[in-house]
Amino acid sequence: MLLLFVTAACIGLTAGFVAERQSALNPNMPTIVVDAGHGGIDNGVTGINSGTDEADINLSIAKHLKGLFTSAGFNCVMTRTTQSGLYGTTAPGFKRRDMEARKKVITECSADMVISVHQNYCPLPSRRGATVFYSQESDSGKQLATAMQKELNSLYGGRENSVLRGDYYMLRCTKSPSVIVESGFLSNSEDDALLNDQEFREKIAYAIFKGAINYLSGNV
Ligand SMILES: [Zn+2]
């Protein structure tokens, strides 16, 4: 009986939290979902020299992004705000549950744009810079990705990395433009060092933000 009560109280709290989060949204402004990839027992990839977990870098950049969008008056909802994953328990199927929880956030706030933040890793240690992925079924996703890629390339000293099509779950959660930003290669020593620098993370966030603003203002 006590267990039932506690479970009911938890569900009530969760429902209340979601309702509160949605009611705080300004209906006159676009809602941006910023999704920090991985978390909890899923660390993602790790820095070749630093040993830093991708999950932590993603969260740090995502928090800077949230600050930028919020300061500019946008509604900004993060899929995760702590180092924990979204899967509940670590029982088998946790990765699927984690992905579904992210989709739930996107659906419940009727996201107008989704930005997933990740870091790349490649057996070829010379690969550097950012790569932005989009769904091939989404023209708007490609435009958004292209706008962000341009800003990120200039941040990396004028690299010419191209946007890429990707068939990923996070790109198919909504019809709104969605991108996955792999903001650098943790398999490359120089990128690894940069991605461990707070100032550079802020610059990455600003490049992503600027790309989003350029896309939204038709400046692409
Ligand atoms: Zn990742």
* Domain annotation for the chain: domains and CATH numbers: 46-70+97-117+130-220 (3.40.630.40)
Which of the four pLDDT bands, split at 50, 70 and 90, describes residue 181? very high
Unique residue bearing structure tokens 């341009």: 150
The CA–CA distances, whole Å, from 54 to 45, 50, 153 equal 5, 11, 20
How far, in Å, is the centroid of ligand 1 from the Cα of 19?
Answer: 29
How far, in Å, is the centroid of ligand 1 from the Cα of 37?
Answer: 6
Name 73's Cβ contacts closer than 8 Å, sequence gap at least 6: 26, 29
* The pLDDT value given to residue 23: 57
Name residues with Cβ closer than 5 Å to ligand 1, which is an ion. 37, 44, 118
Kindly state the tokens that stand for 27: 């209906």
Across 177-207, b (16+ Cβ under 10 Å) vs e yields bbbbbbbbbbbbeebbebbbeeebbbbbbeb
- pTM > 0.95: yes or no: no
Q: How far apart are alpha carbons 141 and 129 in whole angstroms?
A: 20
Which of the four pLDDT bands, split at 50, 70 and 90, describes residue 24? confident
